Amino acid sequence: MTRVAKILLYAVLVTGVVITVFPFFWMFVLATLSRREIFAYPPNLWFGSYLTENYENLMNFVPFLRNMWNSLYIAAMATVTTLFFCSLGAYGFAMYDFKGKEFLFAFMIGTIMIPPILGTIPWFIMMRFFGWVDQARALWVPGMASAFGIFLLRQYIESAIPRALQDAARIDGCSEIRIYWQVVLPLVGPGLGALGMVTFIGSWNNFLGALIILRSRVTYTIPVALSSLQGMISTDYGAVMIGTALGTLPILIAFLMASNQIISGLTAGALKE
């Protein structure tokens, strides 16, 4: 009985994995096929020899390396600034008791529930007012201090750092900001890692915001560049697919290397509620 159950269990799980992984596999296959091979029937399920041609075509349509750089730059800036402001705020909430703390914290958590679409139009108008349309900073400056990030890191700091450590540092003459920088930060590495990866991935994949703000091919990020390719007459799907593969690969590799950390980082907010 358990034997049958076990086989059945694995059959279901493995089928699920095949369905989940197939689009990724096929994406890499399609990136090596010619346009004719992509639209052939039955579909080609194994790698072809058009990789370099597709790559050259892609580069003719859009400055894709530049687009990748833009994505990387925005994601890196978003990550570094988010980590700084969120760890600072989290440190304040985790290690101090102060007047109004409960209210301020509840207020901050409340802002997580606001759907982003509510602010999208005025955000665009603001960015236009600042002269930030078509500029990378429009995509990382507004999100620098995220409530989710503070919430996540607060949990982490509270569980990882005893207040006695803070007191000890004070007795040694440490100022409060130095305690943050030299005592707290070095001890919350894993927490920062999880939030960093979550932020990076979110920024790397951001579409709607980038679509609204970025207007020229040299400022496009990967998702916008890919969607612009799709709009072209006689879309070259081989070129599109090498683009999707190149855009997905870095994140995929990072995820496979640190999947446990990323998953726990992403679900930590849910668990503690």
Site for other proteins in 9-48 (CB under 8 A): 9-10, 12-13, 16-17, 19-24, 26-27, 30, 38-43, 45
Please choose, out of 46-54, 62-70, 72-80, 248-256, the segment that lies near other proteins by the rule CB under 8 A: 248-256
Q: Does 75 bind other proteins (CB under 8 A)?
A: no
For the record, the structure tokens of 26 come out as 């096929």
Q: Of 54-62, 72-80, 90-98, 185-193, which part binds other proteins (CB under 8 A)?
A: 90-98
Check: CB of residue 221 under 8 Å from CB of residue 74: yes
Please give the biggest Cα pair distance in the chain. 75
253 binds other proteins (CB under 8 A): no
Q: Is 50 in the site for other proteins (CB under 8 A)?
A: no
Judged on CB neighbours under 10 Å (0-12, 13-18, 19+), 100 is: exposed
The candidate with the shortest Cα–Cα distance to 238, out of 83, 44, 21, 51, is 51
Q: How far is the CB of 160 from other proteins (least distance, A)?
A: 17
| Count of residues of this chain found to bind other proteins when the rule CB under 8 A is applied | 98
Q: Which is nearer to other proteins, 164 or 271 (CB)?
A: 271
Cβ(201)–Cβ(14) below 8 Å = no
Looking at the Cβ atoms of 218 and 257, the one nearer to other proteins is 257
Q: Residue from 59, 205, 217, 261 that binds other proteins (CB under 8 A)?
A: 205
Confirm or reject binding of residue 201 to other proteins (CB under 8 A). yes
- CB 216 → other proteins: shortest distance, Å? 16
- Report the nearest approach of other proteins to the CB of residue 118 (Å): 5
Contact call for residue 165 and other proteins (CB under 8 A): no
Among 152, 204, 214, 220, binds other proteins (CB under 8 A): 204
Query: From CA 78, how far away is CA 82, in angstroms rounded?
Result: 6
223 binds other proteins (CB under 8 A): yes
CB 27 within 8 A of CB 248: yes
Q: Which of 52, 111, 159, 182 binds other proteins (CB under 8 A)?
A: 111
**Could you tell me the two tokens for 62?**
């859009």
CB within 8 Å of 239: residues ≥ 6 apart: 54, 55, 57, 58, 61, 229
Binding of other proteins at residue 237 (CB under 8 A)?
yes
With CB under 8 A as the contact rule, which of the stretches 51-59, 155-163, 187-195, 203-211 interacts with other proteins? Answer: 203-211
Phi–psi pair at 171, nearest 5 degrees = -60, -35
**Which C-beta is closer to other proteins: that of 59 or that of 88?**
88
Is 106 among the residues that bind other proteins (CB under 8 A)? no
Would you list the DSSP string of 167-218?
HHHHHTT--HHHIIIIIIHHHTHHHHHHHHHHHHHHHHH--HHHHHH--STT
Compute the chain's Rg from CA coordinates: 23
Q: Kindly state whether residue 153 participates in binding other proteins, applying the rule CB under 8 A.
A: no
